[in-house]
A and B are shown apart, each in its own frame.
Chain A
Amino acid sequence: MSSRSVLTLTQRELLDALRNRWFIVYAAAFLVLCISLAAMIVNSAGYAGISGFGRTAAGLINLVLFLAPLMGLTLGAQSLSAEREQGTLAYLLAQPVSLGEIFLAKFLGLAIAIAGAIAIGFSISSLAIMYWSGGAGVGIFLRLLPLTLLLGWTTLAIGFVISAVSDKTVSALGIGVVAWLLLVLIGDLGLMGASVAVSISPGMLLTLTIVNPLESFRIASILQLRNSIELLGPSGLVANDRFGDLTLWVLVGVMIVWLTGATMLAYVLARRRELQ
């Protein structure tokens, strides 16, 4: 593995991301929604002249849950499949670089691009709150930054898996959107329904829920922003019993396992497909 090739290709990937219409739309949407939320937070803090983490600020978790995985999954899903479709991947492979270098650079480039979009959205929103309110509630965005980055990267890795097995960009995008719906909505609705219909122990429900990296993110965010696992009812108390102070790290661990597992799987699949 040559770090110079990886660096060169990462730079190219970043530059391509800046030219990518999808990426620009996501970054802009993320920024606009974050600033709108910042305005709402400032507005709600104005009611009684104090700020904090309340119903409005909780919307940040929803916002991130909505957009970051969409960004990660669809950008990831397009990544290899688009290059394959255009023939650029085969062309690059005929150069003195390895698939591993191309793969790593693509992942790094997109991960940096996503991180940039998130960082810009959060930092401008923080400054906006500062400007509007003089500081009340200003910390909310940045406190969620590390988890949001991790979520973006994890879903990017899952997107890469989709990309590694898809021939056409369109079908990869379709699968990406379905995966997004599944992870963000349908899985939860299913678990909620199941837990009402049949008796699932709080421990089992917790396990089934945090297997989903988006749910791990959500619960970790609640811990990070609110530091009260009791909000999560019986399953939250089980988490406290099982993991205690390590709960946050367990959830982060789930996301890291997904991130590394999906990245490796995507690489193995891409390798099998490209180099067979």
Chain B
Amino acid sequence: MSGARIVLALVLGSWLIAGYTTFAKDAEETSSGLFHLVETDPVPDDAIRVCESCANNDLQATIDSADEGVVIVVVGGSWAPVSIDKPLRLAGEDWPVIDAMGKGSGITIASADVTVEGFDIRSTGRSFDHEDSGIYFEGERVRILNNRLSEVLFGVNGALGHDSEIAGNTISGQTGVSEGLRGDGLKIWYSHRVQIHNNDIRNVRDSLVWYSNECNVYENSVQGSRYGFHFMNSDDGVARRNSLVDNSVGIYIMYGKRFTVADNLLEGSRGPSGQGLGLKEVDGFEVTGNLIYDNRVGIYNDNSPYSIGQIGWLSDNVIAYNDSGLGIVPSARDNIYTHNSFVENLEQVTVLGSGALSSGNQWSYEGVGNFWSDYSGYDADGDGVGDIPYQNTSIAEELRRTHPQLQLFRFSLAERAIDFAAQAMPLFEAEAILMDDSPLVNAPTPQNAPEVTSNESTLHTTALSVSLMATVGAGIWWARRPGAGLGGA
């Protein structure tokens, strides 16, 4: 009997450990590591101090009576929403709270040259008409730094604010509300040369940069939203080293010219129109060094570049484990793909719509093609370039394109059998979607992009595996165990 108890104890123990590792895994917070508070100017000695127990305990009155250009330090406490209509600097110490109690905006700025930093702003109203925002500003050179915004409809909402800076803020929308009913985390409107960096934005609708040229968006992290960043009619923008994870669309660029998208992590863009990077009729762009991982469509190209004579340059991107690596409308042309890695996408390149892909795209540049994980050629001369071209052919993919209903049979053995038969009998050979005549045999790896957020716990899997094996072992032990001493011997 004691043998049975020991075995039982071992098996139960292993499962307890496995169960514990589940909780340990759940407790981990995912963080891109990009968010951090930014350096702010030192607070001068003559700053006005406001706190609940100070002589100055009315924040709005203090602002109203202050001279232009002063620094007001707010120490802790909880405050009603405020409006600022003159240039000044409002600096929070010990996270003063501004709670809008579900009505209107938190801080409203109607002046240029205002800085707001270090506030904890909560619970704006829910009016889309008034665009209730954590911080609303209209004015140039406004700096919104190191604030915490939570349960807000819109987060930081600015218009006509050229040369402003929005950095080091955490912005989270209302939880438990569907994406479409949330407001925008960021909304930048007719504001050129805005610097947006090191913010952490979660659970909002979109973050918009519209009609705003030369904006520089870098090292931000956006999660759980609809459009991570949505640029519209904004020329000469740069999006660099942002982490866009688990949104419907990572970065979407509509219209505009000369856009740079570099070194971003675009991961987990899901849903029917999930896209890591969407390019709609963008004139001239460089997409380089991005890590595009686990999206519905990695890069979606709808007629970009739009005008004749413009070029789309896509190089050094790692496009891996997406349902479609690239989703391209047939008419898109003048794109150059070189030195990218196409790794293990379920479909490396998908043509969206009927007809063949335009031949006006280049799949290699000056003898340098791309790495394709499904390339079956060889490199006899060892120059790093495959000796036969890469061709993307699959009768099953072809069938799925011409008969979309057949997508239901993805991963079925029937589908594999069809592909196998097609390979055995070239009679049915599908037409190649594209041809890369200088395919790389070694994959370019991600260089500067943030690392993918791994949600796999190796500890958990190990513990589970060991528990399973222990259980099977105990089962075998039990099966071989004679009932009452006969049998074996």
Spell out A's residues near B (CB within 8 Å). Answer: 8, 11, 14-15, 17-18, 44, 47-58, 61-62, 65-66, 112, 116, 119-120, 122-124, 126-127, 130, 134-139, 142, 145, 184-185, 188-189, 191-192, 195-196, 200, 202, 205-206, 209, 215, 218-219, 221-222, 226-228, 230-237
CA–CA, A130 to B472, complex, Å? Answer: 20
Determine which of B294, B407, B414, B466 lies in contact with A235 in the assembled complex, contact meaning CB atoms within 8 Å: B407
Q: How far is the CB of A18 from chain B (nearest CB, A)?
A: 6
Q: Which residues of A contact B309 (CB under 8 A)?
A: none
Determine which of B293, B413, B478 lies in contact with A62 in the assembled complex, contact meaning CB atoms within 8 Å: B413
- 16 interchain pairs (CB within 8 A)? A11-B481, A14-B478, A48-B343, A50-B452, A52-B320, A55-B374, A120-B472, A123-B466, A130-B458, A130-B465, A135-B458, A139-B457, A189-B417, A192-B414, A200-B405, A231-B346
Contact A55 B446 (CB under 8 A): no
Please list the 9 inter-chain residue pairs (A to B) with the smallest Cβ-Cβ separation, ordered nearest first.
A54-B344, A233-B407, A52-B321, A188-B414, A135-B458, A123-B465, A14-B479, A235-B408, A47-B443
Contact A230 B483 (CB under 8 A): no
Q: How far is the CB of B423 from chain A (nearest CB, A)?
A: 15
Q: A47-B371, A48-B443, A120-B469 are in contact. List 16 more A-B contacts (CB 8 A).
A: A14-B475, A18-B479, A50-B318, A50-B452, A52-B321, A116-B476, A123-B466, A123-B468, A127-B462, A137-B456, A184-B413, A195-B406, A202-B408, A215-B412, A230-B271, A231-B323
Q: Which residues of B contact A189 (CB under 8 A)?
A: 414, 417-418
CA–CA, A167 to B294, complex, Å? Answer: 52
Q: Kindly state whether residue B461 has any CB partner on chain A within 8 Å.
A: yes
CA–CA, A191 to B321, complex, Å? Answer: 29
Q: Which residues of A contact B443 (CB under 8 A)?
A: 47-48
CA–CA, A222 to B417, complex, Å? Answer: 19
Q: How far is the CB of B359 from chain A (nearest CB, A)?
A: 26
Cβ < 8 Å to A, chain B residues 363-405: 371, 373-374, 399-400, 403-405
Determine which of A11, A205, A222 lies in contact with B479 in the assembled complex, contact meaning CB atoms within 8 Å: A11
Contact A56 B344 (CB under 8 A): yes
Contact B412 A119 (CB under 8 A): no
Give the total number of A-B pairs whose CB atoms are below 8 A apart: 198
Cβ < 8 Å to A, chain B residues 99-113: none
CA–CA, A192 to B418, complex, Å? Answer: 11
Return the CB mask of B459-477 against A: 1 if under 8 Å, else 0: 0011011101101100110
Q: Which residues of A contact B335 (CB under 8 A)?
A: none
Determine which of B293, B405, B414 lies in contact with A52 in the assembled complex, contact meaning CB atoms within 8 Å: B293
Contact B407 A231 (CB under 8 A): yes
Q: Kindly state whether residue B445 has any CB partner on chain A within 8 Å.
A: yes
Of all chain A residues, the one with the shortest Cβ separation from B412 is: A188
Q: Kindly state whether residue B409 has any CB partner on chain A within 8 Å.
A: yes
Q: Which residues of A contact B445 (CB under 8 A)?
A: 48-49
Q: Kindly state whether residue B411 has any CB partner on chain A within 8 Å.
A: yes
Q: Which residues of A contact B408 (CB under 8 A)?
A: 202, 205-206, 209, 219, 232-236
Q: How far is the CB of A268 from chain B (nearest CB, A)?
A: 29
Contact B471 A202 (CB under 8 A): no
Chain B interface size, under 10 / 10 to 19 / 20 to 34 / 35 or more: 35 or more
Q: Which residues of B contact A200 (CB under 8 A)?
A: 405
Spell out B's residues near A (CB within 8 Å). Answer: 270-272, 274, 291, 293-294, 296, 318, 320-321, 323, 341, 343-346, 371, 373-374, 399-400, 403-418, 443-446, 452, 454, 456-458, 461-462, 464-466, 468-469, 471-472, 475-476, 478-481, 483
Q: How far is the CB of B172 from chain A (nearest CB, A)?
A: 23
CA–CA, A25 to B405, complex, Å? Answer: 38
Q: Which residues of A contact B271 (CB under 8 A)?
A: 228, 230
Known: A123-B469, A218-B411. A142 touches B464 (CB 8 A): yes
CA–CA, A17 to B407, complex, Å? Answer: 39
Contact B405 A222 (CB under 8 A): no
Q: How far is the CB of B266 from chain A (nearest CB, A)?
A: 13
Contact B410 A231 (CB under 8 A): yes
Interface centre among B346, B445, B452 (most CB of A within 10 A): B346
Q: Which residues of A contact B444 (CB under 8 A)?
A: 48
Determine which of A134, A138, A192 lies in contact with B406 in the assembled complex, contact meaning CB atoms within 8 Å: A192
CA–CA, A134 to B478, complex, Å? Answer: 34
Q: Which residues of B contact A120 (CB under 8 A)?
A: 468-469, 472
Contact A49 B446 (CB under 8 A): yes
Contact A52 B413 (CB under 8 A): no
Contact A232 B410 (CB under 8 A): yes
Determine which of B272, B291, B346 lies in contact with A58 in the assembled complex, contact meaning CB atoms within 8 Å: B346
Contact A233 B412 (CB under 8 A): no
Contact B461 A142 (CB under 8 A): yes
Of all chain A residues, the one with the shortest Cβ separation from B406 is: A192
Q: How far is the CB of A26 from chain B (nearest CB, A)?
A: 15
Q: Which residues of B contact A52 (CB under 8 A)?
A: 293-294, 320-321, 344, 452
Known: A122-B468, A205-B405. A116 touches B413 (CB 8 A): no
Contact A123 B464 (CB under 8 A): yes
Contact A54 B346 (CB under 8 A): yes
Q: Which residues of A contact B446 (CB under 8 A)?
A: 48-50
Q: How far is the CB of A72 from chain B (nearest CB, A)?
A: 16
Q: Which residues of A contact B476 (CB under 8 A)?
A: 18, 116
Contact A62 B475 (CB under 8 A): no
Known: A11-B479, A138-B456. A47 touches B465 (CB 8 A): no
Known: A18-B476, A234-B404. A228 touches B274 (CB 8 A): yes
Of all chain A residues, the one with the shortest Cβ separation from B400 is: A233
CA–CA, A145 to B472, complex, Å? Answer: 14
Contact B407 A44 (CB under 8 A): no
Q: Which residues of B contact A124 (CB under 8 A)?
A: 465, 469
Q: How far is the CB of B314 from chain A (nearest CB, A)?
A: 16
Contact A58 B320 (CB under 8 A): no
Q: Which residues of A contact B413 (CB under 8 A)?
A: 62, 65-66, 184-185, 188
Q: How far is the CB of A49 from chain B (nearest CB, A)?
A: 5
CA–CA, A24 to B409, complex, Å? Answer: 31
Q: How far is the CB of B319 from chain A (nearest CB, A)?
A: 9
CA–CA, A18 to B274, complex, Å? Answer: 48
Contact B465 A233 (CB under 8 A): no
CA–CA, A58 to B272, complex, Å? Answer: 20
Contact B469 A119 (CB under 8 A): yes
CA–CA, A184 to B321, complex, Å? Answer: 26
